[in-house]
Amino acid sequence: MTMIRTELDLAATRTWIGFGLMCLGMFMAILDIQVVATSLPTIQNALAISPEAMSWIQTSYLIAEVIAIPLTGWLTRILSMRWLFTAAIAFFNPGVDRLCCKR
- What's the pLDDT tens digit per position in 52-75? 888 888 888 888 888 988 898 899
**Averaged pLDDT, 77-83:** 89
**Three-state secondary structure call for residue 93:** helix
* pTM, full prediction: 0.51
Task: Assess whether pLDDT exceeds 80 at residue 93.
Answer: no
Q: Looking at residue 6, what DSSP letter applies?
A: H
Q: pLDDT-based confidence at 77, cuts 50/70/90?
A: very high
Torsion of CA 60, 65, 67, 69, to 10 degrees: 180
Q: pLDDT value at position 96?
A: 67
Q: Mean pLDDT across the chain, nearest whole number? A: 83
